[in-house]
Amino acid sequence: MRDLNQRIMKRLIMTAIMLSVVHGYAQTTNWTFQWHGQTMGLDFEVTNLTKSVKAAIRDDIAYSMSLIPTTNIVFEVFPPTSPSYGKYTGFADFYFPRINYCGGILCFYKTVGGNVRWQIGEEASSKYLSVIALTNQYASAIHSFSNFYHNVITGFDVSGMTLEEKKSFFSGSLLDEWEQEKGDEFEQFITAGLSLRPSPFPEWASPPLPSILAFSKWEIDEIDVVPKPELLCQMRRWSPMNKNTLWSFVYAGGKWRYCLIEL
């Protein structure tokens, strides 16, 4: 009987160990996503992040990575002489990406089971925590950006709008300069800017919706703008001439507007 009890106890202990290993493995491999058919994952070096925060980071990184072709990333493997050898497999270089919101976020990686696992450190986690708090605070405003941006791409319906209503889609003193410069042609000028779009619209002219990292709190107090912006969205934009540029919008007076402010 004693031998039987010992065997049962050993089995229970082994089962507990195996469950612990499986649970630990699941915990480290849970945050995965697909990148052009390749499975990638995230390892969070900050241990106090909630599941909802990790999921938000994973989803945003998955979307941001989907904007980057496989040909635009080179995975550099650390040689034995590197001080990071043994801690990480290597470092990723992003080459000429048209739209890249991952700069400073995805750097070091490990290779586990043939799959890349990005190492999300304290600085990247802190950056995401800040922007997730912002998106929670301004959830309605940030959610409304997609509808606004749809009209940016397709053109606004300006029929029946007054001149003041058309002007309300812009923020910044440059609008006043345009009005003085254009004179009687000013309304026609901004009407065309709001509503007319070439067909087909050039691919480079309409970047996809941005990462949540594109949004930030407006913090430029010295610029006197009425209504004062609350949020800034800087979208990464690629063009054949200027390569990577930023296209800026502000949320002010309860609506999104083209940002005509020099930042």
Instruction: Report the range of poorest mean pLDDT among 6-10, 117-121, 129-133, 206-210.
Output: 6-10
- pLDDT at 35 (0 to 100): 97
Q: Which residue has the higher pLDDT, 254 or 24?
A: 254
Give the pLDDT score at 123.
95
Asked whether residue 8 carries a pLDDT value surpassing 80, the answer given is no
Q: What is the pLDDT of residue 66?
A: 95
Please state the rounded mean pLDDT for residues 234-253. Answer: 86
Indicate if the pLDDT at residue 63 is higher than 60.
Answer: yes
**What are the sequence ranges of the domains in the chain?**
29-128, 138-259
Give the amino acid at 176: D
| More confident call, 95 vs 204 | 95
Has residue 17 got a pLDDT over 80?
no
**Model confidence at 156, in pLDDT bands (50, 70, 90)?**
very high
